Amino acid sequence: MALIQKLASFSSLSSSHSRGIPNSSNPQRICSLSCNSSSSPFTEKHSVKRYERDQWVYEYSLEKTSSCPVPSDSRSIREDDIALQLPELKKMLQVLRDKRESEGKCSGGKCAAGNVFLVGTGPGDPELLTLKAVRVIKSADLLLYDRLVSNDILDLVDPHARLLYVGKTAGYHSRTQEEIHELLLSFAEAGATVVRLKGGDPLVFGRGGEEMDFLQQQGIQVKVVPGITAASGIAAELGIPLTHRGVAISVRFLTGHSRKGGTDPLFVAENAADPDSTLVVYMGLSTFPSLAVKLMNHGLSPHTPAAAIERGTTPQQRTVFAELKDLAEEIASAQLASPTLIIIGKVVALSPFWPISAREESCLVEA
């Protein structure tokens, strides 16, 4: 299926679109494409909550479909999911255009573009949202949200707004980055207030810079609402100062996940092996064993305090403390899952949760 071409057609369809959103009235059964339940505080790829939130975008297809065959592979699931959404997305764009024209906000066949906000939602705890983020979220017409926007934060969305999941997980991208760009552009051109919700801060490993650059090149104004990045929020939760006089004079953020076909993210290990700095690794579960070895080979002490935090700042938070040489094994033993943040450095021992024991055993802390 030429899905990207279908998404690209949104731009021509929305050349003079407007603001105003239809309400769904009668909830219908959701054809969930391998739907599953989960206790995760975040939106997992085929969770029940995701399809309940996004139900509006499947309404046309549900009316036309009596059965829901589940495709056998992730690519087919993704393609079928997008195909089911297309009719309602196009209908919404048409409504936006008609509303804009009826308000007299179009001239010469062109309408004034709407606003796009890139909003950081922090690491998960809704109380870490900024006041500005809450205000913008409540004013949105359409919100495109990622996997790591917590369920509690999504509950703040105005009931008349529309939510659309565009999250990515390893092995399954509900939308490619290019498709996300096109959706943002199409609805902004339609005059909608579009909010792009991202976990943490949108400009720290959130690809917000790419989205901002794309939209600005198309003449769309973009406003950024910063969020508390995971490093700051989670470290604070555990009482770990990322910098501390006499202990750590700098902090370094590192992604443990390389771009497909890109440079190995672990090449920085030589420069990152600094005993006077704090190293924070995002998206590093799969590559951490290799990174730990490289850091030690480049001179970082095997006894350096370290911590791995799963689902930080949420009620499901779990934390493993260990020395650098043991952390990979302890992560595997605790079966930590994504999202997990890793903090390495002497400052970790300043946490009140650091195990105070002559044996310095690893410690699993349940929230």
Just list the catalytic residues.
146, 168, 283
Cβ neighbours for 244, distance < 8 A, ≥ 6 positions apart: 347, 350
Tokens 């998960």 identify what position? 124
Asked if 28 and 108 count as a contact pair (C-beta separation under 8 A), the reply is no
